[in-house]
Amino acid sequence: MELTLLHLPPEVRNLIFRLALGGLHLHVTKKKLRGRICGDPDSYRRRSKEIKRSCGDGHNITPWSPHHYCHEKQERRRHKDVPLHGQKRAISLGLLLTCRQVHNEAALIPFMLNTIVFDTCDTFSNFIAILTATQANAIRNVIIESITAGFITPGALLTARGVRYLLVFGLFYSLDLGRRYNETGLRNLLRFESIPLYSVQICFEFLSLGGLRSPIDLRSLETELENLIVSSYPDL
């Protein structure tokens, strides 16, 4: 008898679905609400470590682009040494179209097992708005590249209550440049108190008239916010 995918044990099928549809970083931007595979997913970990290591001794750090170089032509030219094999390729969901049973078993895996990277808070809200409640609730890992850009709507977090791991970047402005942006970023962050997150990592950079710096008081602010958001659900 010919062995097909559906003849395999459920646990084996599930492993195949996970390998085929999960384990990626997917860029979702204002222009492209469909996830595109990141060519350098480790860049976020490297960047967060660089920011966390910096302190208030005047140490300058390389400015974080508001958009990852995977989807910015100018940034791609500056990072020619980085493999770009996935930068224009959207995640393939053809497997989900093979039959109804496969779709029923694997439809939520792209949301559960991939890290979804949003360029702004507006993009996060807009993306959640076009999903079904089940799809939005299946999202587990989120990166927001600019927490001070746009707004996270309360309705988005009412639907996406399955998010468990959050990494955010943002510019924190001196008062002479943008008090409003600081308040917007903090308001967006505090909205995440409404969902039971397991892990939050906040990476602020400070923008003043003297250039981009990362003072030690921002590290304290980051830690305070991380503890505040996670401690909203102390039983987890």
What's the pLDDT tens digit per position in 133-166? 999 999 999 999 888 788 898 889 889 999 999 9
Q: Which of 2-11, 34-43, 138-147 has the largest mean confidence? A: 138-147
- When mean pLDDT is compared across 10-19, 23-32, 206-215, the lowest value belongs to 206-215
Whole-number pLDDT of residue 41:
79
Does this model's pTM top 0.75? Answer: yes
Nearest to 233 by CA among 199, 185, 186: 199
- The predicted-structure confidence for 182-201, as pLDDT tens digits, reads as follows 778 888 888 898 888 999 99
pLDDT at residue 63 greater than cutoff 70? no
pLDDT at residue 3 greater than cutoff 50? yes
Question: Would residue 58 be called left, alpha or beta, if left means φ above 0 and alpha means ψ between -120 and 50 degrees?
Answer: left
Give the DSSP letter of residue 62: P
CA 118 centroid distance within chain: 5
Under a CB-based contact definition with an 8 Å cutoff, are residues 70 and 87 in contact? yes
Q: Which two structure tokens, joined as six digits, stand for 156?
A: 């988005």
pLDDT bin (cut points 50, 70, 90) of residue 70 is low
Cα separation, 157 vs 210, in Å, equals 37
Q: Which two structure tokens, joined as six digits, stand for 50?
A: 């660089």
